[in-house]
Amino acid sequence: MGTPVSEKAVTASEKNVAASEKAVTTGPIEGSVKHYLQVDGLRVPQRRVNLTNGEHLDLYDTSGPYTDAAAVIDVERGLSATRDEWRRPEPIDGVATQLAWARAGVVTPEMTYIAAREGVDVELVRSEVAAGRAVIPVNHRHPESEPMIIGKAFAVKVNANIGNSAVTSSIAEEVEKMVWATRWGADTIMDLSTGKDIHATREWIMRNSPVPVGTVPIYQALEKVNGDPTALTWEIYRDTVIEQAEQGVDYMTVHAGVLLRYVPLTAKRVTGIVSRGGSIMAAWCLAHHTESFLYTHFDDLCEILARYDITFSLGDGLRPGSIADANDEAQFAELRTLGELTTRAKSYGVQVMIEGPGHVPMHKIVENVQLEEQWCEEAPFYTLGPLATDIAPAYDHITSAIGAAMIAQAGTAMLCYVTPKEHLGLPNRDDVKVGVITYKIAAHAADLAKCHPRAQERDDALSRARFEFRWTDQFNLALDPDTAREYHDETMPAEPAKTAHFCSMCGPKFCSMRISADVRAYAEENDLVTAEDIDRKIAEEMAAKSEEFVAAGNHVYLPISEANPAQ
């Protein structure tokens, strides 16, 4: 929280600080302030939107200290190692994972924090983790993180992928990608970096990330063998996992379900294997004519992950890459194997989630969730979209948001975002924001559909603001206040328009919202609430005004009972 003095004290170079401060986005989201719940000595962040009518709404907040106007950000030092100060329970039979504690009935500080954050009872958190239906991805070595939960009983989460470019120029630039994604609502990020500075880049991200960070260790392992999949070995892979574990990676995608025997099942597909990890392992299996080392060494891997409480994200290396390949034999064969691996991982006390497709037409979406739950002990499902059609490159954030909303409604716990650049190129800053916002929409639509207890509060608050022409509140309650305001101001930029009882769609002369406010006033004046009140009122008025009606211009009045027998 620092002062100007301490801010200077921690800085190695004035020049670097200037660059950092410029590159990392800080400060509250427009119209919001950081607010902290105090729970059992824990400080749980929320985004508070103060409304112009004197009310406020507190929202789930993923953005970390970067949106706290009082926080001093120094990316070279990193965030505070807050979780190191928390009391960690004793290991259960030598295992110190959230799963082991939950099963033993132990409530961890992380569970308490999450319950406050989600607005649910802590027992729900503990029991869902114990059942393996939810995971809390928190590597002991990532004490900077603000704990969160991934599970179908909780708000649907969103992951954003980031990755460094070939030439990294500064810590701040790398950190900014994470900061930018979490500012708009990413609940976790995956660092998919490739290239030379992969270790240093990840270190910067870990030390500055308030959200769990996932990786795909096979990517870095592949770099170590100069990009030749056939040169990979278990030892190289294992050392890479340990290297990343030590840095604090919270969850790891492992494509251990790509078995040799499944690979040729993809040969007749329209789009073969489209997962990078899946095709690396397929190439390895084919070249060596032997089973994947990820599969044969899976128990060794479980022992490593258990030590850090890293969560498995069992990768779907054979996921479909097109509508044509959805729900095929290769995909579901791998899913069955992921179920087997889930059981094995949990026997080590390791938390598990399962990755899912990809590209799936709407009528085949629910089956994915059903089989995943059936075969994988209801481990949290974590899907990439899925895209509901293949015909709209440049709009795949939208094609996939349709699938994502539906699969989340069916029970998927976390959605991996897709940006407009999917299939076409590397996303830029704007693409990342659009991808995150689009996926927050899908996740929230699913929360509403699942009747999540706190989901509709925000819709109602925004709708009331809309109906009452509180334009500023409408903007500030939006997922993206900046763009909402910008679009409004394109046609009505003046400040008085923010309280005007119309917008440029209909203009001032006629506005349906205004008229319906008149309806409300009428109903209140006349004490009309139920259909019976209305019938009574109409009957009274008909009697009193029937002559007036006739005189008013030959309006034939049909008594309602005759005109509309269905009523």
The answer, yes or no, to whether the previous bond of 386 is cis (omega within 30 of 0) is: yes
Residue closer to a copy of itself (CB basis): 38 or 226: 226
Residue closer to a copy of itself (CB basis): 112 or 474: 474
Of 339, 349, 357, 380, the one binding a copy of itself by CB under 8 A? 339
Displacement of CA 546 from its chain's centroid (Å): 60
Question: First and final CA of the chain: distance in angstroms?
Answer: 65
Residue 35 is labelled as binding a ligand: no
Beta bridge partners of 416: 159, 384
Of 234, 238, 366, 500, the one binding a copy of itself by CB under 8 A? 234
15 binds a copy of itself (CB under 8 A): no
Residue 255 is labelled as binding a ligand: yes
Note whether 152 and 122 are within 8 A (CB): no
User: Which 519-538 positions form the footprint of a copy of itself (CB under 8 A)?
Assistant: 519-520, 522-524, 526, 528-529, 531, 533-535, 537-538
Of 206, 263, 415, 418, the one binding a copy of itself by CB under 8 A? 263
Of 72, 392, 454, 500, the one binding a copy of itself by CB under 8 A? 392
Residue 318 is labelled as binding a ligand: yes
229 binds a copy of itself (CB under 8 A): yes
Rg over alpha carbons for the chain, rounded to the nearest Å, is 27
Cα gap 295→272, rounded to integer Å: 21
CB of 459 to a copy of itself, least distance (A): 4
Cα gap 486→37, rounded to integer Å: 32
Residue 316 is labelled as binding a ligand: yes
Beta bridge partners of 301: none
The DSSP code sequence of 10-70 is: T-S-HHHHHHHHHHS--SPPTTEEEEEEEETTEEEEEEEEE-TTS-EEEEE--SGGGG-TT
Residue 219 is labelled as binding a ligand: yes
User: Which 350-389 positions form the footprint of a copy of itself (CB under 8 A)?
Assistant: 361-363, 388-389
Ranges of H-type helices in 248-389: 276-288, 293-296, 298-308, 329-347, 365-375
Could you count the other beta carbons within 10 Å of the beta carbon of residue 273? 25
Residue 482 is labelled as binding a ligand: no
Residue closer to a copy of itself (CB basis): 113 or 348: 348
User: Which 421-480 positions form the footprint of a copy of itself (CB under 8 A)?
Assistant: 421, 423-426, 428, 437-438, 440-442, 444-446, 448-451, 456, 458-460, 462-464, 466-467, 474-475, 477-480
Token reading at 75: 């990316």
Residue 423 is labelled as binding a ligand: yes
- Sequence letter at residue 307: R
Number of residues that bind a copy of itself (CB under 8 A): 150
Beta bridge partners of 383: 356, 415
Beta bridge partners of 253: 313
CB of 191 to a copy of itself, least distance (A): 15
Among residues 301, 294, 231, the alpha carbon closest in space to that of 260 is found at 294
286 binds a copy of itself (CB under 8 A): yes
The pairing of beta strand 251-254 with beta strand 381-384: unpaired
Token reading at 118: 């989600």
CB of 526 to a copy of itself, least distance (A): 8
Residue 359 is labelled as binding a ligand: yes
Residue 276 is labelled as binding a ligand: yes
Binding mask 187-216 for a copy of itself (x = CB under 8 A): -------x----------------------
- Sequence letter at residue 484: A
CB of 476 to a copy of itself, least distance (A): 11
User: Which 292-331 positions form the footprint of a copy of itself (CB under 8 A)?
Assistant: 293, 295-297, 321-324, 329
Give the annotated binding-site residues for [4Fe-4S] cluster.
503, 506, 511
Residues annotated as binding site for substrate?
A: 161, 190, 219, 255, 275-277, 316-319, 355, 382
Binding positions are 161, 190, 219, 255, 275-277, 316-319, 355, 359, 382, 423, 503, 506, 511
